[in-house]
Amino acid sequence: MLTQKQHDLLIFLDTTFKETGVCPSFDEMKDHLGLKSKSGVHRLLGELENRRFIKRLHNKARALEVLTLPTKKERVNTLKPIANDDIMPIPLCGRIAAGLPIEAIRYPSETVSVPSHMMGLGDHYALTVDGDSMRDAGIMDGDTVIIRKTDRVPNGTIVVALIDGYEVTLKRIRANGSSVALEPANPNYETRIFSADRVEIQGELVGLMRSYR
């Protein structure tokens, strides 16, 4: 299912491209959707790209391709109430950088209620995202990410990585022999490479919650 904003943006992109042969600007997208800032446009584009409705061409300005349009079943998401027994409290362990690394995760001082379907087996915790380096993966500043505790993940997984025992960040990880690359999802940030002994995986991303207030 698409949210109303996702659906409206996708149709606007497709219609504008068919009528003019070029993609609308970020300002045009923002105005069409009635958003206050371009960050909301970036978020929606990231979500549509993750779900393979569009493909962005990062080497060209204002270039993207609409891959598919939603089916009738995918058009608009209708939210259903969640029963109390489907909600689970997990520790909220402070902020994590989706940008430049910040201080390591603090001891949890509060909890956040999470729908149980967002979690599988194992222990979980939540973090508040600080920064926009994972923007193109649909992870925005202020989001709450749900993390499953683990120290083993496949290459390409988005993880909580602890660097040198005191810096923590949210990045996509790729191990190659004795080195580890921590990749952002925003061309404004560079991939950072460390020796494997400097990076400790503290969990993998399994869910995300966002408030629109």
Catalytic residues: 133, 171
- How many angstroms from the chain centroid is the CA of residue 184? 11
DSSP state of 198: G
User: How far is 86 from 142, CA to CA, in rounded Å?
Assistant: 24
**Cα-based angle 203, 209, 213 (whole degrees, multiple of 5):** 145
User: How far is 115 from 130, CA to CA, in rounded Å?
Assistant: 22
User: How far is 29 from 59, CA to CA, in rounded Å?
Assistant: 20
Taken in order 162, 163, 166, 169, the sign of the CA dihedral is: negative
